[in-house]
């Protein structure tokens, strides 16, 4: 999930809801009905990375109707009534300072080609309205995030390619933001949260209308972003720290701030984040939904399964076909239809719409930020300094001119005396 800058790309793919199957379980019948009325939007799925690992992105060697080596394929998507999916265009930490941007672009490309190869199932989308339109058409809407090599220009280019959310870090520090392992104590802090450039990035993402994803960041960064961002934030695949004390999860004080910020925490299904052990059950996942709802309200919870990015999943949640099981369990626990619809997709659609509204309010008022990250913060053997050398030369000349001016002023003062 990390790139040259330890950023992840997420492309949301919209999947049309399918007709519900019959079942003797009244809660399941009710769940399936709600899922035909409101799209289930999942915050994180690593199928594109599986396509890289298993097929080197050669889609002609893949049939997504019959692929059985992943948690996700088109029949499973249909069975799971998956209304929309943020696909992760993930690249590992090892690509940082090397070829992460190329690797990221190739992951964006494979998501676009998925949509082109299966137009009856998928539709690429770049707005909250596109998501709604795709749901009505029983198709998929795709949106996205990325690795930007400490470049706001790259950020803007990725936005033009359809990227609509950005995870600030993965599991290693970027040149401008710390990652969650800092809280775990297994990696030192480099920036005490965000650097100055990291703060510039938050402001620029607000200007673009790109969602800010706080999965994988330490608590210090969570608080800094919640202070800085005008738009609501998301946790695309994180669970509740009070239920499982893993540093990838969200503590209660942050959950309360997410509520104030009108953001959303999308529950991760990975056993290690659900029970802090290798085994988990459906009811354990529902406990996280309940806790986030208790602390932050039904308007702050969503789905972030992490399918195809994890090795262990709870019983009855083994692949994407099992999403209705969670919905039925929430109904069984007394969640109202409106609460469930919020968690399914209305919360994410609201957050996305509010980010777009803030973007629109800045048109013709706020210009793109073109101040680069300081070269000494990103200098490495694989990076050239074009552009910086002129700026550094100009800066040096400015210092010399200032010193000469001070000398002249001193001489003038001496002569006058």
**Domain containing residue 100: CATH number:** 3.20.20.140
- For residue 74, pLDDT beyond 60: yes
What are the pLDDT digits (tens) for 155-207? 999 999 998 999 998 898 999 999 999 999 999 999 999 999 999 999 999 99
| Sole residue written with tokens 């101040």 | 371
Distance of CA 66 to CAs 72, 264, 370, Å?
10, 34, 47
Is residue 415 assigned to a domain? yes
pLDDT value, residue 415: 60
Residues 333 and 394 in one domain: no
DSSP 250: B
Same domain membership, residue 51 and residue 115: yes
339 plus 411 within the same structural domain = no
Residues with Cβ within 8 Å of 134's Cβ and at least 6 positions away in sequence, in order, are: 14, 16, 84, 123, 125, 140, 141
Q: Domains in the chain: how many in total?
A: 2
Number of helical H runs and strand E runs in the chain? 16, 10
Q: Please report which confidence band the pLDDT of residue 210 belongs to, taking 50, 70 and 90 as the band edges.
A: very high
In this prediction, residue 412 carries a pLDDT of: 55
Q: Are residues 109 and 190 in the same domain?
A: yes
Distance of CA 169 to the CA centre of its chain: 10
350 and 394 housed in the same domain: no
How does DSSP assign 205-225, residue by residue?
HHHHTPEEE-TT--HHHHHHH
Is residue 2 assigned to a domain?
no
- Structure confidence at residue 90 (pLDDT): 86
User: Is residue 383 in some structural domain?
Assistant: no
In a shared domain, residues 152 and 95: yes
Residue 231: band (very low, low, confident or very high) from pLDDT cuts 50, 70, 90: very high
* Phi and psi torsions of 237, nearest 5°: -160, 75
The pLDDT of residue 66 is 98
Q: Is residue 283 part of a domain?
A: yes
Q: What share of the chain is helix, strand, coil (3-state, %, to 5)?
A: 45, 10, 40
What's the average model confidence in pLDDT over 266-271? Answer: 98
Q: Is residue 382 part of a domain?
A: no
Summarize the confidence of residues 395-401 as an average pLDDT: 40
Are 298 and 412 members of one domain? no
Q: Is residue 389's pLDDT more than 90?
A: no
Q: What is the mean pLDDT of residues 300-324?
A: 98
Question: In 3-state terms, what secondary structure has residue 48?
Answer: helix
Residues 415, 290, single domain; the answer is no
271-309 burial by CB neighbour count: b if 16+ within 10 A, else e?
bbbbbeeeebebebbbbbbbbbbebbbbbbbbbbbbbbb
Q: What is the DSSP string of 60-122?
A: GG--TTT--SSS--HHHHHHTTEEEEEEEE---GGGTTTTHHHHHHHHHHHHHHHHHH-TTT-
* Residues 6+ positions from 384 with CB-CB distance below 8 Å: none
Specify the higher pLDDT residue, 13 or 320: 320
Calculate mean pLDDT across residues 382-392.
78
Backbone angles phi, psi at 278, to 5 degrees: -85, -10
Q: Residue 22 above 80 pLDDT?
A: no
Q: Is residue 350 in a domain?
A: yes
Q: Do both 164 and 271 map to the same domain?
A: yes
pLDDT of residue 21: 38
Residue 3 placed within a domain: no
**Position with higher pLDDT, 404 vs 324:** 324
Cα atoms in the Cβ-side hemisphere of radius 13 Å centred on 102: 4
Dump pLDDT digits (tens) for 115-129.
999 999 998 878 888
Residues 356 and 406 in one domain: no
Average pLDDT, rounded, for the chain: 87
Query: Of 330, 260, 271, 333, which Cα lies nearest the Cα of 302?
Result: 330
> What is the domain range of residue 409?
388-417
Q: 410 and 262, same structural domain?
A: no
Q: What is the pTM of this model?
A: 0.87
Tokens encoding 367: 């210009």
The CA distance from 126 to 201, in Å, is 20
The reply to whether 227 falls in a domain is yes
Task: State the pLDDT confidence band at 354, using cuts at 50, 70 and 90.
Answer: very high
Helix or strand (DSSP H, E) at 404: helix 388-416
DSSP result, 266-303? EE---HHHHTSSS--BHHHHHHHHHHHHHHH-GGGEEE
Under a CB-based contact definition with an 8 Å cutoff, are residues 76 and 61 in contact?
no
Structure tokens at 92: 């590992």
User: Are 341 and 211 in a shared domain?
Assistant: yes
Separation of alpha carbons 209 and 196, rounded Å: 20
End-to-end Cα spacing for the chain:
68
pLDDT band at 392 (very low <50, low <70, confident <90, very high): very low
Is residue 256 exposed (0-12), middle (13-18) or buried (19+ Cβ within 10 Å)? middle
Q: CA-CA distance, 202 to 257, in Å (whole number)?
A: 17
* Residue of higher predicted confidence among 293 and 399: 293
407 φ, ψ to 5°? -65, -45
């Amino acid at each position: 999930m990390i790139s040259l800058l330890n950023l992840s790309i997420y492309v949301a793919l919209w999947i049309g809801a399918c007709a519900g199957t019959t079942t003797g379980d009244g809660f399941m019948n009710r769940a399936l009905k709600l899922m035909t009325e409101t799209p289930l939007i999942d915050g994180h799925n690593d199928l594109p990375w599986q396509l890289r690992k298993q097929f080197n992105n050669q889609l002609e060697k893949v049939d997504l109707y019959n692929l059985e080596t992943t948690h996700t394929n088109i029949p499973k998507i249909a069975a799971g009534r998956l209304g929309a999916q943020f696909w992760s265009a993930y690249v590992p930490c090892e690509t940082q300072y090397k070829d992460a941007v190329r690797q990221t672009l190739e992951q964006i490309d494979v998501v676009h080609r998925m949509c082109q190869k299966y137009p009856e199932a998928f539709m690429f989308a770049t707005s909250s309205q596109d998501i709604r339109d795709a749901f009505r058409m029983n198709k998929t809407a795709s949106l996205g995030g990325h690795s930007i090599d400490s470049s706001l220009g790259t950020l803007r280019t990725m936005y033009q390619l359809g990227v609509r959310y950005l995870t600030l870090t993965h599991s290693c520090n970027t040149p401008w933001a710390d990652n969650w392992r800092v809280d775990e104590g297994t990696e030192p802090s480099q920036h005490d949260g965000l650097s100055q450039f990291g703060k510039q990035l938050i402001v620029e993402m607000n200007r673009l209308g790109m969602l800010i994803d706080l999965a994988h960041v330490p608590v210090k960064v969570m608080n800094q972003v919640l202070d800085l961002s005008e738009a609501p934030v998301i946790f695309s695949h994180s669970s509740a720290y009070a239920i499982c004390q893993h540093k990838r999860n969200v503590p209660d004080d942050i959950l309360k701030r997410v509520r104030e910020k009108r953001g959303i925490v999308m529950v991760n299904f990975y056993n290690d984040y659900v029970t802090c052990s290798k085994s988990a059950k459906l009811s354990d996942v529902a406990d996280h939904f309940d806790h986030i709802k208790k602390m932050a309200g039904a308007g702050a919870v969503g789905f972030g399964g992490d399918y195809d990015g994890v090795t262990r999943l709870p019983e009855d949640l083994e692949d994407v076909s099992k999403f209705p099981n969670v919905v039925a369990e929430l109904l069984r626990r007394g969640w109202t239809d409106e609460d469930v619809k919020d968690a399914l997709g209305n919360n994410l659609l609201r957050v996305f719409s509010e980010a777009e509204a803030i973007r629109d309010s800045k048109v013709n008022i706020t210009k793109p930020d073109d101040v680069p990250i300081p070269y000494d913060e990103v200098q490495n053997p694989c990076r050239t300094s074009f552009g910086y050398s002129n700026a550094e030369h100009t800066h040096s000349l400015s210092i010399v001119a200032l010193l000469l001016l001070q000398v002249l002023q001193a001489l003038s003062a001496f002569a006058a005396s």
